[in-house]
Structure 1
Amino acid sequence: MTLPRSAVEAVDTALSAPWGGISNIADLDGDMHWVDFGGPEDSTPIVLVHGLGGSHLNWVRVAPTLAKHTRVYAVDLPGFGLTQAHGRTTHIQANAALLNRFIDTVVGKPVILFGNSMGGMVSALATAARPDSVAGLVLVDPALPLPIRIPDPVIAAQFLVYALPYVGEQAMSLGRRTMTDEQLATQMTNLCFVDPTRADSEVVAAGAALSKIRRGFATQDAEFLQAARSLLTVLARPQKYRKALRDISAPTLLLHGERDRLVSVAAARSAATAHPHWTTIILGDTGHTPQLELPDEFNRHVLAWLSHTSLITT
């Protein structure tokens, strides 16, 4: 199933409208869906990049506040949200290159990249590859090389399933067949939040609505698993990734939930030690998506850092 541009825009307007989002399509060797949250043009713009299994909806609780200070964009990477891959690879490196192309083609000037989870890895690689395109980097519970320790057993088992050919495909298909869209959205919240009661009901409902649309995307499982396996490969052989992190010269803020089950806080502390010039903030009693779980606290820290680094005026 391929949604025409007009249908995508109409559908997403219904999803993102409560938070001021306006849907757009860019042609980057295929359609790429992105959302414009508006904002003044006289400051360095922000581009928001979601994680594995996420979308532009991962940012709706913080984007309206950020848009009071500067122009805010949120992308759907190929294979996620309303961007179908249509033959493009969803590998981490390919998405980093595509993100830089989005900055060049759509934004047209250097940006502040915000990346959560997989989006943090993609944003870091994009920054290292094109330092002229990124004025600042905010890493939110990014996928990072892990120190030696016992991982969360549920998360470890889940990613083992993703890694296995055929097994991963069957597990993904079974999950979609046996769960409603509301259950799929709730499952993601339970995985990423310390306290699921903090979830905004409108955001969860929007996630369920997006899940319903994506049921018509025949290749979504293959696209997801290609991205997941690429991420695992980068982390399994992290030398190039570690070098890319070392090469980043832009001001960098690392925000990490202390009780993140997907990326251990130990990985964030290890990265902070390796990069003492970064600003690192460990957020207590929150999980993998603090921008959704504790949006007010998230914005307070981010805006203070952006002001301190003179990237934008708050």
Structure 2
Amino acid sequence: MVTRRAFAGGMTLGAAALATLPAAAQAGEQPPQYPAAPWTGAGTVRRAGGELHYVSLGEDGAALPVVLLHKLGGWVADWRDVAPALARGRRVIAIDLPGHGASRWQGTPPQVQTVMETATLVLGALQDMGLPQVDLVGTSLGGCVAVAMAALAPERVRRLALPCCVLGPASTHEQVAAKEKGQAAMFTAEGDPLPGDPGLARDIFGLRDFERIGAEQNASRARAGRWIRPHERGVAYTDFVELMRRITAPTLLLYGGHDTFFFKYRPTAEANLRDVRSVVLSDASGFPVQDDPQETALELVRFFA
């Protein structure tokens, strides 16, 4: 169990990373490293055959802590330019989802890592940290997990923010198989992600700083490795329409004006969330957390205030 001292910053980021190296690193390979970030604390929480790694910034204050969950194939470093603005008068905690970043799980990744499984792992970790209620932000995969958390435990989430998330009905097995067939060039036969063309991220998500973000995306995806497809399948098999109808927390939807991928889910989300507002960042992409962190942080601060 994580200690209060570790949560407050008693464990350094370097020590936490060394304690939670993925399987490739244990075999002698050096995993891609996190970019420099402003975190002042870090630690791990043991959960169901593995460890969730987290980093933190700021001090406990009058406001509830903010928990940040990253995108598919991402890591806690995705939030490094958003977290400082949120950490004024409160603590900010960014978590590496299972199989991502420095979170470590034993054995071979499952065929499917369901969104509900991940949500309960994170809820349990927050309980161990002594956090009965939080403000919650999730983007992409992290947003899907955040939706499940808010639906499963409404008393644990005061406010919910979702920058650019896939929030639609469940897909069939046939639809998932067809999608993966079309993604064959993106993975090895063993399921490891292959380096992608940063220009593709520019074309699909509207990235402005596509070379820098694309290179970092390749690094974070390489570190996540074979956990990407299990999580992606878990998202595809989830009925987010039904989950959103259970959410009672006020919810903020954030979209980038240059995005075409996530924006199509906006009408469904707006129609099924009880207390919702939408904001479009006109100059942002489908990765606003990384591509337009200042405006993203400003909208989050306004919402949580």
Q: 1:288 to 1:172 in 2, by over 3 A?
A: farther
Cα distance in 2, alignment partners of residues 190 and 39 from structure 1:
37
Partners of 2:39 and 2:57 within 8 A in 1: yes
Counterpart of 1:296 in structure 2 is 294
Question: Residue type of the partner of 1:63?
Answer: A
Partners of 2:20 and 2:104 within 8 A in 1: no
Q: Structure 2, unaligned stretches of length 5 or more?
A: 1-13, 22-29, 170-174
Counterpart of 1:129 in structure 2 is 152
Deviations 1:131-163 (A, max 9, x none): 1111111111121117xxxxxxxxx99981268
Deviation of residue 127 (structure 1)? 0.9
Deviation of residue 275 (structure 1)? 3.2
> Secondary structure of 1:292's match?
helix
> Secondary structure of 2:132's match?
coil
Counterpart of 2:68 in structure 1 is 48
Cα distance in 1, alignment partners of residues 182 and 152 from structure 2:
27
Partners of 2:244 and 2:269 within 8 A in 1: no
Deviation of residue 20 (structure 1)? 2.8
Q: 1:157 to 1:275 in 2, by over 3 A?
A: closer
Cα distance in 2, alignment partners of residues 6 and 281 from structure 1:
35
Counterpart of 1:232 in structure 2 is 236
Question: Residue type of the partner of 2:281?
Answer: L
Cα distance in 2, alignment partners of residues 211 and 165 from structure 1:
16
Cα distance in 2, alignment partners of residues 51 and 18 from structure 1:
17
**What percent of counterpart residues are identical?**
23
Counterpart of 1:273 in structure 2 is 271
Partners of 1:162 and 1:168 within 8 A in 2: no
Question: Residue type of the partner of 1:161?
Answer: E
Deviation of residue 40 (structure 1)? 3.5
Counterpart of 2:139 in structure 1 is 116
Deviation of residue 285 (structure 1)? 3.7
Deviation of residue 81 (structure 1)? 1.4
Q: Does 1:160 align with 2:158?
A: no
Query: Pairwise mapping of residues 1-314 of structure 1 onto structure 2 (< 5 A)?
Result: 7-8=18-19, 15=34, 17-29=36-48, 30-87=50-107, 89=110, 90-145=113-168, 160-161=179-180, 170=189, 172-173=191-192, 176=194, 179=195, 184=196, 186=198, 190=202, 193-197=205-209, 201=212, 210=220, 214=223, 220-221=225-226, 223-234=227-238, 238=239, 241-263=240-262, 265-275=263-273, 277-307=275-305
Deviations 1:270-297 (A, max 9, x none): 3213336211112224222111111111
Question: Residue type of the partner of 1:262?
Answer: F
Cα distance in 1, alignment partners of residues 299 and 277 from structure 2:
11
Cα distance in 1, alignment partners of residues 244 and 283 from structure 2:
27
> Secondary structure of 1:18's match?
coil
Partners of 1:39 and 1:70 within 8 A in 2: yes
The TM-score, its normalising length taken from structure 2, stands at 0.76
Cα distance in 1, alignment partners of residues 177 and 206 from structure 2:
18
The TM-score, its normalising length taken from structure 1, stands at 0.74
RMSD (CA atoms): 3.7
Deviations 1:4-59 (A, max 9, x none): 956147999x7365323533111122211111123333310000011211111221
Aligned length: 275
Question: Residue type of the partner of 1:125?
Answer: A
Q: 1:26 to 1:189 in 2, by over 3 A?
A: farther
Question: Residue type of the partner of 2:127?
Answer: D
Bigger helix fraction: 1
Deviation of residue 192 (structure 1)? 6.7
Partners of 1:194 and 1:285 within 8 A in 2: no
Q: 1:80 to 1:6 in 2, by over 3 A?
A: closer
Cα distance in 1, alignment partners of residues 197 and 44 from structure 2:
24
> Secondary structure of 2:63's match?
coil
Question: Residue type of the partner of 1:36?
Answer: S
Partners of 1:163 and 1:229 within 8 A in 2: no
Partners of 1:103 and 1:133 within 8 A in 2: no
